[in-house]
Structure 1
Amino acid sequence: MATGDNYRQEEIDRVKTWLEQVVIGLNLCPFAKHPYQRGQVHFVVSLAEDEETLLQDLLYECRDLKHMSPKDRDTTLIIIPEILQEFDDFNNFLDWSDALLYQQGWRGVFQIATFHPDYHFAHTEGHDADNLTNRAPLPILHILREDSVERALELYPDDPETIFRRNIETVRNLTFKQKRELFPYLAFNASEINQDD
């Protein structure tokens, strides 16, 4: 088993910084702040060097989360430093993770959000600012409890669709200096990014 007791604090610290400064700091996820402040977010580094082992780690973390109270652990971020560094490989792995949820009967129990240093949406070019909403310092599988997501959305005052649109507007309005400060692990070319500074 490559997760659990095996972890590297450096990778966890990098992801926590991203979560604090980008996800929470820019309010890209209005539901992230309170679980994080309450210590309900679990960070684990998978030491998997192949996809089969990573899938086993995902299975372990889902089972672990399922048997814990949401008050103790509401969500888990699996940080992946060794493999899936190419976004296409990472994206292809998601078919395996979806199949795992289906096989275990966890559809409607868990959902998996994804982040990657080279994340890009299908409708974008790689350098488009829109992709920053899902760019993290390392590949991440974020296991979410479906019921927690549903409760959060019920309390959200606006149409949930506005979250995505607002996030796109937020990252598009970042200055070049802000992008370099918030995403130091990305190589920005000023001529490729829409600038307003």
Structure 2
Amino acid sequence: MLTHGEIEDDSPKRASLIVGNGRPSLAREAAAPLPGRSAWDTPGIMELPPCGLYRTTASFGSIPAGRLVYFHNHGNPGPGIYLPKEWRYNHAEFQGNGQVIEDLDLVRFLEPLPPEGFYRVVEPFHCCEKRCRLFEQEALLQLGYNADAEPILFAPELVDSMLAVPAQGWKTTLATTKNLRQLRVPISKRDNLPPQ
């Protein structure tokens, strides 16, 4: 069992790379738009990965390999990565200021991660090679990550007719997430809950 531990202005443009010119760069800076079109609609442009959670597989300046980051592909002045500042309810909250990725070729060193949230088990599996915990088919789980981008599974329980999510979970591997399907769960602030 483990716990998480301690540890600008957005533009609506698509973030893209120019393909085939040797060194990728932001499309809005490098490609001349066709008449009546923006640089983002110019042929020969490849889109950057979507915004979301990633594991660094190489260093990004002061951010070492093997860290959980949020990649934001359309920030100002450019795409960047953000480190977690804290965890609330097994969910990472990220720093307000990130690190701009100057060399966009480096995005290849970002390994995408499944989103945090609630999942159901579609195939039974054990948390790890030691087989500490078996997760049964159709079980409800919450997926979160620690600062090292290691997935952690939390098993909610019904307590007095309320769903309780523990603060401790089981470390697992990304390979086990193939046994999970994400659920759509509405999110509300405590002040906005419907009357009981």
The structure with the largest helix share of the pair is: 1
TM-score (norm 2): 0.26
TM-score (norm 1): 0.26
From the CA coordinates, give the structure whose radius of gyration is larger: 2
The structure with the largest strand share of the pair is: 2
